[in-house]
Amino acid sequence: MGMIVQPLIGRLSDGRGASGGFFFCRRFGRRRPFLALAGVALLLAQLMVGNSADLGHLLGDGLHDDLRIRAVLIFTLGFWMLDASNNAIWVVSKSLTADVVPEAQWPEAFSVSTAATGLGLALGYLLGGVHWAARMPGLKTTACNDAGGCADLRFAFLLACCACVLANLCTLVVAKETIQEACENGSGGPGDVHTPLIEGERSCLSVLKVVAQKQALCCTYMVTLLAWLGWISLQMYQTEFVAKEVFGGSPDPRAPSNKEYVDGVQAASRALVVNAVLMTATTYLIPSAIHVMGKARLWCAATLLTSLLMASTLLIRKNHAKLGASFWLAMLGPAYGVQQTIPFIVVSEEAPKDLLGELNGYLNVSLCIPQLLVSLFGGSLSAAAGSDTILFGMGAILDLVAAAVCVTYLR
């Protein structure tokens, strides 16, 4: 979904068109209307996912049905909306940051943005580890009780809704766009040094020609694509790897080793909280690190660290190193913080202002392609090899290639 939504929303939010884009651009700015609409869609999606069991029961699902088909459909639709609205917010917020912050302060601005992401991850992991229904019995309903953690999930999504509303309101109020110039010229202001490279009608082909002319943009997209093949594997299989291959557990509740599996999941969750905290702390050091090392060397170093950590899973699995697995998960945080920051700085610096939203959208496509590939083939590869380390090993090799591309072509 992100492969369609993100470039499209980015293109529309650039405000280009026969009359300067949408009619409300002149009043509200070219980015903020899309941020507001995406925020409303995200709020509705969270309410649908969190209350899917009750909504399904309201529409006719039986309490003892083996498959609550209406709840499944509502959950699926809600999750689709959640993905699409998240993608839209991601692209628009990054583009808005580059619009309203002076170029000299972009490293600090994007670092703070990544730090906010890390804080959200830490809070999300903490929320998921608490049995809220035991503390607040009122969360339980006839259709949504303790089974499968339904009531806990509902409460987590309610808190997420509150955070979504507050964050969007703050952004919409605080972010001040230069509306007149942005809507008429598709730029940040009359003194913008980023001269538009496309005159007249803008097509996908003409945008790709702009990308091809910019070595830094091509390099950024390629490094992101290669690096995220490893990151997606980590995000999808890291907890399962710790629970099954390090702790030796089984996900089957009837299996004797299920306790080890639960212990492994809990250990991974605790390590991921530390991961998010370290990611948040590290991002505040990124501007200083860029000043000392430069963007290319910093990104290369973080990618090499990721490669080393992914390769270390072979030793962790062989020795069933439980403490080593927790340390491994935690240390991925700083590298992830760099990976979430540097590409957006480069795109903001290199993209013409009238293409910034669309090129940020294409950057996120570089994340979506690995997600699609790992989703389609990752499970089969892991099953054939009998271990998730096959994916981590491939990710380690691809990260080495990404680091070489980064240090060679990114200036």
Q: Tell me what pLDDT residue 269 has.
A: 87
Express as a percent the part of the chain with pLDDT over 90.
46
Helix axes 2-13, 356-385, angle to 10 degrees: 170
Residues 7 and 98 in one domain: yes
Phi, psi of 284 (to 5 degrees): -70, -15
Q: Tell me what pLDDT residue 286 has.
A: 95
Q: Identify the domain boundary among 123, 157, 188.
A: 188
Q: Within 13 Å, how many C-alpha atoms sit on residue 232's CB side?
A: 21
Tell me 139's DSSP state: G
Q: Tell me what pLDDT residue 8 has.
A: 84
Q: Tell me what pLDDT residue 172 has.
A: 86
CA–CA dist 296, 79 (Å, integer): 36
Q: How far apart are the first and last CA of the chain?
A: 32
Residues 30 and 85 in one domain: yes
Residues 251 and 295 in one domain: yes
Residues 183 and 219 in one domain: no
- The whole model's pTM is what? 0.84
Residues 244 and 357 in one domain: yes
Q: Tell me what pLDDT residue 18 has.
A: 40
Query: Is residue 282 a part of any domain in this protein?
Result: yes
Q: Tell me what pLDDT residue 16 has.
A: 56
Cβ 223 vs Cβ 402: under 8 Å: yes
Residues 137 and 278 in one domain: no
Residues 179 and 265 in one domain: no
Query: Is residue 18 a part of any domain in this protein?
Result: yes
Residues 249 and 316 in one domain: yes
CA–CA dist 347, 363 (Å, integer): 8
Query: Is residue 194 a part of any domain in this protein?
Result: no
Query: Is residue 202 a part of any domain in this protein?
Result: no
Query: Is residue 198 a part of any domain in this protein?
Result: no
What CATH code is carried by the domain that includes residue 38? 1.20.1250.20
Query: Is residue 325 a part of any domain in this protein?
Result: yes
Query: Is residue 201 a part of any domain in this protein?
Result: no
- Report in angstroms the alpha-carbon separations of 94 from 99, 128, 219: 9, 27, 19
Query: Is residue 195 a part of any domain in this protein?
Result: no
Q: Tell me what pLDDT residue 17 has.
A: 46
Sign of CA dihedral 240, 241, 247, 251: positive
Q: Tell me what pLDDT residue 149 has.
A: 66
Residues 182 and 320 in one domain: no
Q: Tell me what pLDDT residue 1 has.
A: 65
Residues 217 and 246 in one domain: yes
Cβ 139 vs Cβ 133: under 8 Å: yes
Domain of 384? 209-411
Q: Identify the domain boundary among 188, 219, 244.
A: 188
Q: Tell me what pLDDT residue 271 has.
A: 93
Residues 172 and 118 in one domain: yes
Residues 100 and 147 in one domain: yes
For the chain, how many structural domains are there in total?
2
| Cβ-proximal residues to 173 (8 Å cutoff; 6+ apart), any chain | none
Per-residue pLDDT of the chain (411 residues; tens, 9 = 90+): 667 778 888 888 887 544 444 556 666 778 888 899 999 999 999 999 988 888 888 888 877 777 788 889 999 999 889 988 988 898 899 999 988 888 899 999 999 999 988 888 888 888 776 777 777 777 788 888 766 567 888 888 888 899 989 988 998 888 877 654 555 555 444 334 444 444 445 567 777 888 888 999 999 999 999 999 999 999 999 999 999 999 998 888 788 888 898 889 889 988 999 999 999 999 999 999 999 999 999 999 999 999 999 999 999 999 999 999 999 999 999 999 999 999 999 999 998 888 888 899 999 889 889 999 999 999 999 999 999 999 999 999 999 999 999 999 987
